[in-house]
A and B are shown apart, each in its own frame.
Chain A
Amino acid sequence: MKKDIILAGVGGQGILTIATLIGYAALKRGWNLKQAEVHGMSQRGGDVQSHLRLSDEPIWSDLIPFGKADIILSVEPMEALRYLPYLSDEGWVITNSTPFNNIAKYPEIADIHNRVKEIKNHILIDADSIAKEVKANRSMNIVMLGAATKQLGFEPDELKEAIKTIFSKKGDVIVEANLRALEAGLQLG
């Protein structure tokens, strides 16, 4: 059993939090894990990605090979497309539909959405709006995690436990908001 996951977004959108939560759940299962992150200059509003590899066998490379990713989980739609060379034939693209527009010429959002829809296995959801609906405005990333739970191969309870543990220091209000966000995402996955 292995899962190779590309997490994608823009610096500051919270993809490393998603990685931490999935990582926690994977370790609880006693799986091996490698997670390559981007630090430094790119974090300043540039495109960022994390290679997250889970397996019950030894993992060698810190980077996922091109053409081998099982999932691209993205919190921004254009960023989901940037990593298509990594996606395997049967891989899934699970992405937020809300653009993060911090560049001069952001493409037509309809063109981006249409290209996502051309991918055989895809989930395209408006995670920003859903987060707001469930009064968890800052938890768009957790909505996306919820939407990807099934493809990631986890039980909802495993990720709920991860949220409770990882966010416990931030207090019950934050934990509850993130659990609502996860639940809302689960409904759409």
Chain B
Amino acid sequence: MEKLMLLGDEALAQGALDAGISGAYAYPGTPSTEIMEYIQRSKQAIEQKVHRTWSSNEKTAVESAIGMSYAGKRTIVCMKHVGLNVAADPFMNSAFTGANGGLLVVVADDPSMHSSQNEQDSRFYGKFALIPVLEPSNQQECYDMVFNGLTLSEKYHVPVLLRLTTRLSHSRAGITTRQTLPPNQLHFPEDPNQFMLLPAFARKKYKNLIALQNDFLKESATSVFNKKHESEENRRLGIIACGLAYNYLMENFAGKQIPYPILKICQYPVPVEAVTELYNSCESLLILEEGMPIVEEMVKGFSWSGTKPIKGRLDGTIPRDGELNPNIVARALGLPDKVGADIPDVVAPRPPQLCIGCPHADSYLALNEALKEYGKGHVFSDIGCYTLGFMPPYQAINSCVDMGASITMAKGAADAGLYPAVAVIGDSTFAHSGMTGLLDCVYEKANVVIVILDNSTTGMTGGQAYTAAGHLEDICIGLGVEKEHIRVFVPLKKNFDEMVQIYKEEIAYDGVSVVIPRRECVQTLKKKNKMEE
């Protein structure tokens, strides 16, 4: 079999292709983006005609994947952790409908919030939905777990959640591939009502899902991904290491005998029997998790616990927030932890910022000028490169909450009497979650100015195509925005006065205005020019 050097994301994508998927669905989001990008570049995907187009958002992506599963084919759907919030409705209900063709929901969490608004742990969603969860500890497991996940999904007719974290998504290592599986044939579910969640059916399905919990537990107990390392040497401490935490633990014992018994957990539900055994045979437990202390909380809740110390994020042995690293684990183990010299005082912070020549910069400078007379506090923004408009020298925006919130927050503030109330949203974010909010504004003729920054791409994640490209005005007209209050300009320094004037006119208008500054992202433009060279 072939040996490849791949990012965790890419290893997962290659696994999906080799495991015979017929479609991948996704909306870009760090750290998950590279999964779909890899599939889109793959010759194998093109030859096998694997569906690989971006969806409008994570909800439409998950629903499409459920549809593909209904039709009997294998599919993966990929997103970042907060994307699963958007897709929570179909995700939770897919646990009730179950799967026909294998359905793997891949979610990449971002502990330490390198590129995110929060650091929620998707394993909670798996537990919430009562479905099996896989959490790879290395790139090879990213690849292998797609095979196991899809098999598990088809064996029990349930969706399976696969949880990645940033460091694995974006770290490269060698993986060995397996023999490729053929795609499934199109076939209906055996039970024609499997995907019918009328209450009478849903109640039965819930009982069925509960009944399956014991099977899932047995799968965890026998999983190749959950391993016990016995050690008789030292019973003072037993260690549970979940997902990537296992690597940081092993790093500290590289080339040495490990003195403590270890339980590696990479498949959930938590293998209760193995945990109980470990607890009973040791004087205390240390629980290492990349993310929130979900296993630690469960273990503390078990009826037998309370007599022996359980160390982890809850008792302060490990910081309550942020990602793990080998040094944090070393300290938790009481091992010597040597750090190099401090960062010298002379080093200044270098936060990310808008690129030189970025169209958003011109749009913000003009907006600041138009709003000068009203003071600060009037601009609601959203998720994307343009969130960097918060930084000096722009300091142009006052909020960033979730995809689409700029428009609806501006509406809510306008409802409260704030004037002017301005929303600044990217074109791809608008396609993702802005349209329904705009419809709310139109429905009530809210006094808002919606600025849709059109750089013709999903910029922050590296320039992906998006579903509403080229149709923004048509969409706004279709949603009921008055034609004369849809204003388009080219954000360039030389157009500064025109831009300010347009903003001012639309601020003055008592109703819904849409302003569209339109100029291509300098990064995608650079890429295009390079390809033409």
Stretch from A39-47, A126-134, A154-162 contacting the other chain: A39-47
Does the CB pair A23–B172 fall under 8 Å?
yes
Q: What band does the interface of chain A fall in when counting residues whose beta carbon is under 8 Å from B?
A: 35 or more
In the assembly, what is the distance between CA of A3 and CA of B343, in Å?
22
Query: Is A187 at the interface (CB under 8 A from chain B)?
Result: no
Query: Is A88 at the interface (CB under 8 A from chain B)?
Result: yes
Query: Is A1 at the interface (CB under 8 A from chain B)?
Result: no
Stretch from A103-111, A145-153, A175-183 contacting the other chain: A103-111
Query: Is A81 at the interface (CB under 8 A from chain B)?
Result: yes
Does the CB pair A103–B340 fall under 8 Å?
no
The binding surface of chain B is classed by DSSP as loop
B356 nearest CB across to chain A (Å): 8
- Which chain B residues in 63-115 approach chain A with CB under 8 Å? 114-115
Which A residues lie within 8 Å of B325 (CB)?
61, 63, 65-66
Which A residues lie within 8 Å of B173 (CB)?
32-35, 59, 62
- Which chain A residues in 10-62 approach chain B with CB under 8 Å? 10-11, 23, 27, 32-47, 51, 57-62
C-beta contact mask, B234-255 vs A, less than 8 Å → 1, else 0?
Answer: 0000000000100110110011
Contact partner of B347 among A32, A42, A82, A88, CB < 8 A?
Answer: A82
Which B residues lie within 8 Å of A47 (CB)?
350
Q: What band does the interface of chain B fall in when counting residues whose beta carbon is under 8 Å from A?
A: 35 or more
Which A residues lie within 8 Å of B343 (CB)?
81-82, 84-85
**CB-based A-B contact count at 8 angstroms:** 157
In the assembly, what is the distance between CA of A84 and CA of B339, in Å?
9
Query: Is A186 at the interface (CB under 8 A from chain B)?
Result: no
Does the CB pair B353–A45 fall under 8 Å?
yes
Does the CB pair A84–B341 fall under 8 Å?
yes
In the assembly, what is the distance between CA of A39 and CA of B348, in Å?
21
Does the CB pair A85–B171 fall under 8 Å?
no
In the assembly, what is the distance between CA of A38 and CA of B167, in Å?
9
Query: Is A87 at the interface (CB under 8 A from chain B)?
Result: yes
Does the CB pair B30–A39 fall under 8 Å?
yes
A124 nearest CB across to chain B (Å): 15
Does the CB pair B115–A85 fall under 8 Å?
no
Given A10-B350, A46-B352, A67:B33 Cβ within 8 A: no
A68 nearest CB across to chain B (Å): 8
Does the CB pair A85–B247 fall under 8 Å?
no
Which A residues lie within 8 Å of B375 (CB)?
none
- Which chain B residues in 446-502 approach chain A with CB under 8 Å? 460-462
B527 nearest CB across to chain A (Å): 12
In the assembly, what is the distance between CA of A65 and CA of B460, in Å?
29
In the assembly, what is the distance between CA of A57 and CA of B385, in Å?
41
B52 nearest CB across to chain A (Å): 20
Does the CB pair A103–B348 fall under 8 Å?
yes
Nearest A residue (CB) for B137:
A60
Contact partner of A37 among B171, B247, B254, B351, CB < 8 A?
Answer: B171
Does the CB pair A41–B350 fall under 8 Å?
no
C-beta contact mask, B318-345 vs A, less than 8 Å → 1, else 0?
Answer: 0000000111001000000111111110
In the assembly, what is the distance between CA of A62 and CA of B392, in Å?
34
Which A residues lie within 8 Å of B221 (CB)?
none
Nearest A residue (CB) for B254:
A60
Which B residues lie within 8 Å of A34 (CB)?
171-173
Query: Is A142 at the interface (CB under 8 A from chain B)?
Result: no
A-binding residues in B (CB < 8 A):
5, 7, 30-31, 33-34, 114-115, 167-168, 170-174, 244, 247-248, 250-251, 254-255, 325-327, 330, 337-344, 346-356, 385, 388, 392-393, 460-462
Apart from A33-B172, A41-B114, list 14 A-B contacts with CB within 8 A.
A10-B350, A23-B172, A37-B7, A37-B171, A40-B30, A44-B460, A61-B247, A61-B248, A65-B327, A82-B343, A84-B342, A85-B343, A104-B392, A115-B346
13 contacts across the A-B interface (CB closer than 8 A): A32-B174, A43-B352, A44-B354, A44-B388, A45-B350, A46-B350, A46-B352, A61-B250, A65-B251, A65-B327, A65-B330, A78-B347, A81-B344
B-binding residues in A (CB < 8 A):
10-11, 23, 27, 32-47, 51, 57-63, 65-67, 69, 78-79, 81-82, 84-89, 91, 102-108, 111-112, 115
